[in-house]
A and B are shown apart, each in its own frame.
Chain A
Amino acid sequence: MTIRSFDLLQPRSLAEAVELLHKHGDDARAIGGGTTLVILLKQRALHYPYLVDLQTIPGLNEIKQENDGVRVGALTTHRRVELSPLIRQRFPAVAEAFGHIGNVRVRQTASVGGNLAHADYRLDPPPSLLVLDTEVSVFGPNGSRTIALKDFFRGIYETALEPGEILTDIKIPPMPANSRAVYLRYGTLSANDWPCVNVAVLLRKENGRCQELRVALGGVAATPLLISGLEFAHDQVVDATVIEKILTAVEEQISPSSDLRGSDWYKRKMARLFTQKAIAQLSG
């Protein structure tokens, strides 16, 4: 398996990168860590005469604290997110999720932006980032814009990125006061596998009552999914009845497809089970 001949373009700025992508259109593709793209190129499932290397652009691999949250550059490796003291302290569920991806060699290479832009439905990071209301910044021919992560995923391997646009960073806002989040992943094959089902839950409670509840799942729909319509839980005690309503909402919104990691029947059961487990961990 070898990659067909291509030119590696190494821009020095975002503007230059966007220009190159614009100029070469469908003949060019941006490459970050390359852990997924290179496999597809080697399998000759994809071919681009030009690869635009984002690693040569300065400033895209930083984890920075800002007033309104933590900004993670698109070229930051999974390993750095996993080990970042800032992320571990502020968003342990995010550090946890990034720490499960592939193996340490993959995590040293793969980038945060590449992971999200690949838009696979069963990756580790999206559920945690979704419950944290993460925003995605992109830069393109028409300048910058931000997109809520929940609106970023459009379908299997499909995102809101327009032609020529580059994902530049993500911003994770501070967790609501007194909230906690948890990430659970469940695999059916080897311990190294992608999750069959993964789930993240964020819960803010005051005086024993739910003030905010967010639930996101991966592996059980065409895209990672933030569950909507959970407002009923507001100001409620998270008891068996409320949990059952949450699980019903999950069941209604997911649409798993059967594959080697489990049938539709099985994934539905696991989505329910692990959502329940995650809520139980936060309620305890």
Chain B
Amino acid sequence: MANFSVVGQSVFRKDAQQKVTGQVLHVGNIEMPGMLHVAVLRSPYAHARITRIEKSRAEKVLGVAVVLTGAEVAKMPGVDPHFGPAFRDQPILCVERVCYIGDPVVAVAAVDRRTAEDALQLVEVDYEPLPAVLDVLAAAVPDSPLVHETHRPAKSFADLAHVKAGQKSNICYQFRLRSGDVDKAFAEADRVFEDTFSSPPAQHMPMEPHVTLVYLDEGQRINIWTASQTPSYVRTEIANTFGIPMNRIRVRIPYLGGGYGAKLYAKLEPLVTALALITRKPVRYALTREEEFLTITKHKVIAKIKTSIKNNEITGRKCEVYWDTGAYAEIGPRIVHKSGYTSAGPYRIPNVWIDSYCIYTNHVPAGAFRGFGVPQVIWAYDSQTDMIARAIGADPLEFRMRYALNEGEAFATGTPVKSFGVKQALREAANAVDFSKPSVNQSSTKLRGKGVASGVKAVLTPSISGAIVMMNADGSVNVLSSTVEMGQGSETMMGQIVAEELGVSFDQVHIVQPDTDITPYDTITAGSRSTYHMGNAVRMAAGKVKAVLCEAVGKKLEVDPEDLVMQNNRVHVQGSEERGMSIGEAFLVKFGSAGTTITGEAICQPEAAPMDPETGQSEKCTEFWFPSATSVEVEVDTETGKIRLLQFYSVGDTGTAINPRHCEQQLLGSAITHLGLTLFEEMLFDEGQLTNGSLLDYQVASFKDLPDSFRPIIVQVPHETGPFGAKGVGETGTLTVSAAIANAIHDATGVRIRDLPITPERVLRALAEKSQAAKPK
């Protein structure tokens, strides 16, 4: 990184001090005169018809402004009562039917939350129960009862343009990949491995629950302050849902208290907008943690994976992946597609068959979750890859190294891979844990073992990031971007890139928070995409500012602008600093007046080649990949089944690390998330009723649950079109955690766990079954 002054440095993030001292504005801190607060009555049935709503008593409660039902929303002129990013299937409030336990039915806006909740207790709703669809595999069968009779595509995103209208099936989307001849591979196989892996629904658990505030400004424009990862999309969705021009809607996003995929697309915004339009008052709805559980989840997945072996070589792999997307599709189809096509792994397998199904059930809707479905498919394929290696007597590391794709080789989609550091990440992970050296047990009831896993996620392609960089005459810079700072460090990343490009210090760059009146369109802050997409956009926009300044200075100094560089707040001839001037002088040269600005705008929009709908083949299905590897040493207590993590290495190929410390923190942070998901997190349902829907019974990993030794390792395989070679890192550390831990447990004990979470009881039962099987009959 010798050539860069700011990029590659672990500069301190700008928002750290303000955050830990409570100086940061969140939506929940914003107070407005006359603001109303919302409480929502939710369905007690998994699937039912609403036959009667009696709300007159609630309406009479002092302080209640409105008691709103879905039927009333549906009658609002010009309003589409349903919204959603893939299908317009989710009601703002349930209209005729409720589709899961927790589905919003009646909303009250009142002077305070308590009054709203008091009024809710006076609302009576009668239901006529309908058959509920609660098993994802049964839901996929043709004669299953239906969650929705018809499916109406939303047409909001280019990458979802191929989503089709459907009906008479709970499968709302299916992805297919066919490469080679899988049937032939299985027919000719010496040995076939066939396994089913499951992962449960789970919670994102951002510290800040969903919260949205809507008010009408003096021009009666809709102003939305919301904790969202998608300002641009929220504006589009509100425009489409309420039939309002986009410039009549302003969406602003202050710092988020975490997102992890929970805060994508529209959540509370349509309902709060409806309430603000009806009451003409500021309205805020802040979810409780308990409501959070009923709003969005990680997909439950059942993955069936079958692999053929001939002469100790993998010849074919067939994956059937069933995604429980819940009552509303949310972004399920995109997950089923993007993760679906990676289901066979980053390996060279000549014959691949993938069927990935997005399935409606009467459960809480499932959506994006840090890793976007890829952790669920890696859980399956890299557990099984390990099983195969051990079964045929191969070293699990070298087996993976043998099949991991080399630069330029085709992925299962036919796309040649680029900057694909899977092997490098795997090697680093294995070296860190000293994988070739077996663990040494310290006691007969504490068995130790080591495991590795590798995998990749593809970056969402196509997608769009626009940015404006505005340089001021004193050399300070404002960056206008709709990327949401949710803790991941995007402001720091953008600041470093722009400072590097314009030759100013990091402290001179200010990032303007997302505001759709000001900041240009961005597809989404998710999927580890911001460093590449927004990083490129701000870099290109800064480059345009630089071009304007260099043009002016070049004319003045009578040199070719191409020979000028910007460094240390100066514009000068490359190699001779004295032949130049300060940025302030350059502005005067350009404008002859103080206080002026130069603005550059740019859009980063990598393209993909559409996949063949029958075979999933594409010359370019993605711009680049996020290679991940995890290595771990565990100790299994054979008396309790409890797992202790002795050593843990989270390895990611980030491309050029713009800020190495942030990359390391992302690798560890995302690994912590998946430690909990691997060892104990699970939303438990009984006939559609969530039974552990609070933090008393649903727990996430805490610092007390961390491995004894816990380290990140960055691998940097630069991507040719990345900003300074950067790719991204937001999810990489999540991808391979579960499989690595299960593989280590197998190494320690010989038992194989196929269902997440890997609870002590599951391990103890597996150990008991193994010793039972070992006994002579």
Q: Which residues of A contact B (CB under 8 A)?
A: 1-5, 39, 43-44, 186, 188-193, 260, 262-263, 266, 269-270, 273
B188 within 8 A of A: no
Stretch at the interface among B311-319, B333-341, B694-702: B694-702
Cβ–Cβ contact A191 & B702, under 8 A: yes
Measured CA separation A43–B117 after assembly (Å)? 10
* Residues of the B chain whose Cβ atoms lie less than 8 Å from the Cβ of A43: 290
* Chain B contacts for A39, CB-based, 8 A: 696
B640 interfacial contact with A, CB 8 Å? yes
B167 within 8 A of A: no
CB distance from B676 to the nearest CB of A (A): 7
Q: Are A260 and B113 in contact (CB under 8 A)?
A: no
* Residue among B112, B113, B121, B760 making CB contact with A44, cutoff 8 Å: B121
Query: Could you tell me the distance in whole angstroms from the C-beta of B6 to the nearest C-beta in chain A?
Result: 39
Besides A190-B676, A260-B684, A270-B640, 13 other A-B contacts (C-beta < 8 A)? A2-B114, A3-B114, A4-B114, A4-B117, A5-B118, A188-B642, A188-B680, A190-B699, A193-B699, A262-B760, A262-B761, A266-B760, A269-B764
Q: Which of B112, B639, B676, B692 is the most central at the interface, judged by chain A CB atoms within 10 Å of its CB? A: B639
* B121–A188 touching, CB < 8 Å: no
B 653-692 contacts with A by CB, 8 A: 676, 680, 682, 684, 691-692
18 pairs, CB–CB < 8 Å, chain A vs chain B: A1-B288, A2-B112, A3-B114, A4-B114, A4-B117, A4-B118, A5-B114, A39-B696, A186-B640, A188-B759, A188-B761, A190-B702, A190-B705, A260-B682, A260-B691, A262-B761, A266-B761, A269-B764
Residue contact B117 to A2, C-beta cutoff 8 Å: yes
Q: Which residues in window 136-156 of B have CB below 8 A to A?
A: none
A2 CA to B676 CA in the complex, in Å?
30
Contact A44 B114 (CB under 8 A): no
Query: With an 8 A cutoff between CB atoms, is B777 at the interface?
Result: no
B704 in contact (CB, < 8 A): yes
The answer to whether A192 and B640 touch (CB under 8 A), given A4-B118, A266-B764, is no
User: Is B700 touching A190 in the complex (CB atoms < 8 A)?
Assistant: yes
Inter-chain contact B761/A263, CB cutoff 8 Å? yes
- Chain B residues contacting A189 (CB-CB under 8 Å) are 680, 699
A44 cross-chain contacts in B, Cβ below 8 A = 117, 121
Chain B nearest CB from A193 CB (Å) reads 5
The CA-CA distance from A273 to B117 in the complex, in Å, is 47
Taking CB atoms, residues of chain B closer than 8 Å to A269 are 764
A191: B residues at CB distance < 8 A: 702, 704-705
A48 to chain B, nearest CB (A): 15
A189 to B764, CA, bound (A): 15
B residues 577-606 with Cβ under 8 Å of A? none
* Nearest CB on B from A39, distance (A): 8
Q: Please, how many angstroms separate the alpha-carbon atoms of A206 and B18 in the complex?
A: 62
Closest to A196 in B: B760
Interface of B is mostly: loop
**Do A190 and B704 touch (CB < 8 A)?**
yes
B761 touches A192 (CB 8 A): no
Alpha-carbon separation in the docked complex, A29 to B608 (Å): 65
B691 touches A192 (CB 8 A): no
Instruction: Write the nearest CB–CB distance from B620 to chain A, whole angstroms.
Output: 43
Bound CA–CA A266/B680 (angstroms): 15
Sorted nearest first, the 7 A-B pairs with minimum C-beta distance are A191-B704, A190-B699, A2-B114, A189-B680, A266-B761, A1-B288, A189-B699
Whole-angstrom CA separation of A44 from B118 in the bound complex: 10
B552 to chain A, nearest CB (A): 59
B290, B692, B701, B705: the one contacting A260 at CB < 8 Å is B692
Q: Closest A residue to B116 by CB, please name it.
A: A2
Q: How far is the CB of B291 from chain A (nearest CB, A)?
A: 9
B586 shortest CB reach to chain A, Å = 55
Query: How far does the alpha carbon of A191 sit from the alpha carbon of B703 in the complex, in Å?
Result: 9
Minimum CB–CB distance from A279 to chain B (whole Å) comes to 15
- For A270, the chain B residues whose CB sits under 8 A away are 640
Return A107 CB to nearest CB of chain B, in Å.
Answer: 15
B699 touches A192 (CB 8 A): yes
Which chain B positions have C-beta within 8 A of A1? 117, 288, 290
Tell me the bound Cα distance from A192 to B121 in angstroms. 34
Query: Which B residues lie within 8 Å of A3 (CB)?
Result: 114
Minimal Cβ-Cβ distance residue in A for B760: A188
Within 8 A of A (CB), among B78-98: none
Question: Smallest distance from the beta carbon of A257 to chain B beta carbons, Å?
Answer: 13
Q: Please report the C-alpha to C-alpha distance between residue A155 and residue B233 in the assembled complex, in whole angstroms.
A: 53
User: Could you say which of A193, A260, A273 contacts B640, with CB atoms under 8 Å apart?
Assistant: A273
**For residues 756 through 777 of chain B, which have their beta carbon under 8 Å from a beta carbon of chain A?**
759-761, 764
A2 in contact with B113 (CB, 8 Å): yes
CA–CA, A44 and B288, complex, Å: 13
Minimum C-beta distance from B678 to chain A (A): 12
CB-based nearest B residue for A4? B118
In the complex, which residues of chain A have a beta carbon less than 8 angstroms from the beta carbon of B684?
260
Residue of A nearest to B112 (CB): A2
Chain B residue contacts of A262, Cβ below 8 A: 760-761
A193 to B113, CA, bound (A): 30
CB distance from A211 to the nearest CB of B (A): 29
Expressed in whole angstroms, the Cα–Cα distance for A273 and B761 within the complex equals 14
Give complex CA distance A278, B764 in Å. 21
In angstroms, Cα B700 to Cα A249, docked, is: 36
Contact of B704 among A4, A192, A263, A273 (CB under 8 A): A192
Min CB gap A260→B, angstroms: 5
Residues of A within 8 A of B704 (CB): 190-192
Q: Shortest beta-carbon distance, B121 to chain A, in Å?
A: 7
Chain A residue contacts of B118, Cβ below 8 A: 4-5
Which residues of B have CB within 8 Å of A266?
Answer: 760-761, 764
Q: Which residues of B contact A193 (CB under 8 A)?
A: 699
Cα A266 to Cα B763 with chains together (Å):
11
Chain A residues contacting B682 (CB-CB under 8 Å) are: 260
Task: Give residues 94-146 of B contacting A (CB, 8 Å).
Answer: 112-114, 117-118, 121
Q: How far is the CA of A67 from the CA of B760 in the complex (A)?
A: 46
Output the least CB separation between B425 and chain A (Å). 29
Residues of chain A within 8 A of B705, CB atoms compared: 190-191
CB of A75 to closest CB in B, whole Å:
23
Instruction: Please give, as numbers and ranges, the residues of chain B lying within 8 Å of A273 by CB-CB distance.
Output: 639-640
Per the bound structure, the CA–CA distance linking A260 and B692 in Å amounts to 8
**A268 vs chain B, min Cβ distance (A):** 12
In the assembled complex, which residues on chain B have CB atoms less than 8 Å from the CB atom of A2? 112-114, 117
Q: Chain B nearest CB: distance from A190 CB in Å?
A: 4
Q: Provide the residues of chain A in CB contact with B642, threshold 8 Å.
A: 188
Q: In the complex, what residues of A have CB within 8 A of residue B639's CB?
A: 273
User: For the complex, what is the distance from the CA of A4 to the CA of B680, rounded to whole Å?
Assistant: 34
User: Which residues of chain B are within 8 angstroms of A4 by Cβ–Cβ distance?
Assistant: 114, 117-118
Closest partner residue, chain A, to B118 (CB atom) = A4
> In the bound complex, what is the Cα–Cα distance between A4 and B290 (angstroms)?
18
Residues of B within 8 A of A186 (CB): 640
- Which residue of the partner chain A has the closest CB to B706? A191
Q: Which residue of B lies closest to A276 (CB)?
A: B639
- In chain B, what residue has the closest Cβ to A263? B761
| CA–CA, A5 and B63, complex, Å | 14
Q: How far is the CB of B203 from chain A (nearest CB, A)?
A: 13
Closest B residue to A269 using CB positions: B764
B310 → A minimal CB distance (Å)? 42
Q: Please report the C-alpha to C-alpha distance between residue A191 and residue B705 in the assembled complex, in whole angstroms.
A: 6
